[in-house]
Structure 1
Amino acid sequence: MYKILIVDDEAIERRCISFILENSKYSLEIEEAENGQKAYERLQEKEFDILFSDVKMPFMDGLELAEKAVHLYSDIRVIIFSGFSEFEYARTAIRIGCVNYILKPVNPEALLTMICEVLKRLDEEREKKAIACKKSKYVQEHCLLKLLNSVCMTEDEMNFLQEEQVKYNRLIFIEFEHDFFDSDYIDFANQMKEVINIDFSCVNIAANQAVLFMKKSGFSVDYGVAAKRLQEGIWKNYREKVYIAVGDEFKELNEIGNAYSELEKRMEERFFFPDLTIFTEESLKYAHSNVTKSKEEIFKALSNEIAGKDEEGLKKHWIMLNESISRLGCSQIYIKHMLSSTALELYDALVEKTAYPVSADEFIESIYMSTDIEEILSKVYELVEIVCKEWRKGSCVHNRVIKDVIQYIYEHYTDSISLDILSENVNMDSSYLSRLFKKEMGINISCFIKNIRMEKAKYLLENTNEKVNNISMMVGYNKLSYFCRSFREYYGISPEKHRTNGGTIDA
């Protein structure tokens, strides 16, 4: 619906034009003003698409009003009407940007013909702006995705970001428990902006993950509170559980890659604290100082991490075990039994069985013979360090689990692949597999799968005549709209245009 302001000091003239427009086929929102000054005050309060104004009026004439209106809103369409046909009026009206100049008394048929032309031009301009805005959004998302992954940008891409002059100062990482973004949640970003009252750009990383680039605000923001509102808004609108990690502030765009790496590490803490859903610096400090995991849970985690060669996780849970024993105490028989089991798993993990000076049996015997828990913990941790040292010597590709996961992904990228499916295939806890994969490959599993699918899609577009819809299915995307969106974010161009113009970005 277009908004029109009619200005004339003669009420009958205003009502005449209003009546003609109200009874036309067009859907219009019409307001009236009795003189130029009143109209200018209304224009300062509200934006209008079309201004109809008489020339001769008290306080402010129509030409002065038109000039001020164009200064306020460069896109406004101004139509001047008057009982005077002097050439100077018409020339001045054209100079200040009026689209038409008509004489009184207004001819209804001529008025409707003219309004039809003006509305048609407005429709065309709106459509052009919408297309340009959409293209700009896709190019921006493509550039931001490159910044996240610390990928070098072209000169055109750098110029685009500088021209946009958008200032970001923080990242927020959101992760759903299943593929959320392959659904038709087109208004997700706009709805969430209203919920948290902060502007941001949303970049889809994987079907269940996105990064929000928070724009600098003119007021102080508690991002922990904003994350809580975001979580509540997602539940209210979509009934979805979500994990949210809030990053630290940065100042320059070239800091985004490192900021994202730190943010991923913060999100990985959810595997240590399954009851925590919002990860800020403050919430994690509190969680670490109030560890409530049972010793059984910790020993189970240690076992998983030894099997997965996860040094970081192993050492974190070892610290938790020490803190739990120091704070809560435990039965010596129980702790000796559990530590003996852990020690045997560590011995099994040793490639060089002679790396530790005593045999497994002798080591277990020393545990049961000792009466000092601290001494036992120290002995086992010494074994932990030897095993971790061996792990560090090996290349990441030597890890059988990761090899199996990668092979499975390459063989099944056309199918629906989830972390649960992968973890079941290699007989490993999903949370630890996720951490292990990121540690060894430097990229999370979801992004790895997406990279493979995008590369395969690009190859099929360039080397086959398959329809885009078929290619979408062939690389594991059941919904064409989500495939096209993902492709355009990844390459900065739609699949169709990539095929026709060889991959030049659609700026």
Structure 2
Amino acid sequence: MYKVIIVDDEAVVRVGLKNTINWNEHGFELIGDYANGREAWEAVEQHKPDLVISDISMPFMDGLELAGLISTQFPYIKIIILTGFDEFEYAQQAIRLKVSDFILKPITANEIRALLDRVKKEMDEETKHREDLGRLKSQLNQSLPLLKERFLERLVAVGLNLEEINERFSYFGIPAPLPLHVVLIVDIDDFGDRELHSYEHDVEFLRFAAFDIFKETLEREGVMLFRTREERMVAIISGQDDESLLYEQVYSLAEQVRHHIEKYLKFTVTIGIGRACAHLEQLPESYKSALSVLDYRFLLGKNRVLSILDMEGKPSIPLPPQLDWDRKLASAVKRGSAQEAFQLIEDGVAELKSSLAPIEACFLQMQKVVLSLMNSIQELVAHDPEASFDRQMRLMDVYGLKTLDEVEIWLKDVVRSVMSTIADNRSHLTNMQIHRAVEYIETNYANDKMSLQDICRHVLMSTSYFSLVFKQHTGETYIEFLTGVRIARAKELLHNTTMKFYEIAEQVGYKDPNYFSILFKKHTGITPKDFREKQLKESGN
């Protein structure tokens, strides 16, 4: 039987609800009725009913305030609000307070009965849900594989003491492995040709298929398998008391996994084999060494089985001081020499590969290259800050690449893009300079002393380069363009003023009126005098 209280400041409503409803028949025990929210809250704190039926508008504490207190401190108590206010705002507040129902008055006894039956059914289902220990146990069993994976990940990544290890092994039903132990990590390189076309569910399927092959190949006595949160596949292989035999076994199993995934799934993985350890508490050392050897994929390429023993036996060669290819590459890019830039990239990558330098040193070189290219973009593509920023952000993609071979391809692609941008920017800059030159000519044409040198100083260009690009952009030489501007202005003055011919000549930049007349006739076919008379006749008509 569920306990219920009624809260309403109208006595007639409370009496009506108490006397017209057979509460027990509907599975409820009415334990009290109250005239305001304050009294009701005290009863809730004392009796903790299962259901509260309350009006909204009441003195001292309204129904929504009461519902707020109940939902905060006793969220399991169901609340039904009765109100005569058909306001959307009230309904919104009720929803936020997780009120079970929001009923508009007046409400009939039959409607109350139906409401109680529905609420009781919901409460019965919730009670059954909470008390179904069998269901809870089933859920726990379903969660065990994931819990086991998280335990094994913690075992190798963080480390546990022997007592906790034994306790967890017993809980998960894992047989205690015999020494020695080695951690093997499988990391998917990429998904091959499907990389660009795979949706998220396709990727999950491919990862599942890879783990299935991983399990089929390695699942045997003395091997514990799991996946990490970074989507790597990890095996703890134990049982050999001879270290060399253990490494031989692990390498063979790793090669099988690599081969089968490539053959059947058509993509590749890189596998790292860590250092052997004698005790389970030392597994983090093996795990970290396996992770560190995976880093050598950056130097050696994908689709490999790499052992810490092999890499420890190869001393790295310090990067030579003359490897300043970041500066040389930026210089080649600025000059637009693609062939030189590509050769520098190839030589730089080859130098890094042969040095077997630590991954940190390789990324330091990459950072220097990225910064140099960023500076080149900043210097040469200043007119479009947004595009410049986008290109700079693209340079950050290097940190997502997994091998130096990918870095080489990516760098060449970036250099092509940057060179194209710089070429476009030079063209834009030249256009701006010619535009400024035209404005300068059209503003200063009356200056008879204006020279080519004056204009070139104004637009910051050499006279030879200016003469070349000015003709390309305008179709005329500087002198032809200047003469055209002056003659056009002379025509306006001849037509619109009564100025003397020698005055007009001086106004458009010619000290010698005779020279002006010769030039004018050459460009228009008639003398200034004939031009004015012709304009006057046409105006008179």
In terms of fraction of residues, the more helix-rich structure is 2
More RCO (CA 8 Å, sep 6+) = 1
Question: TM-score surpassing 0.5?
Answer: no
Could you tell me the TM-score, scaled by structure 1's length? 0.31
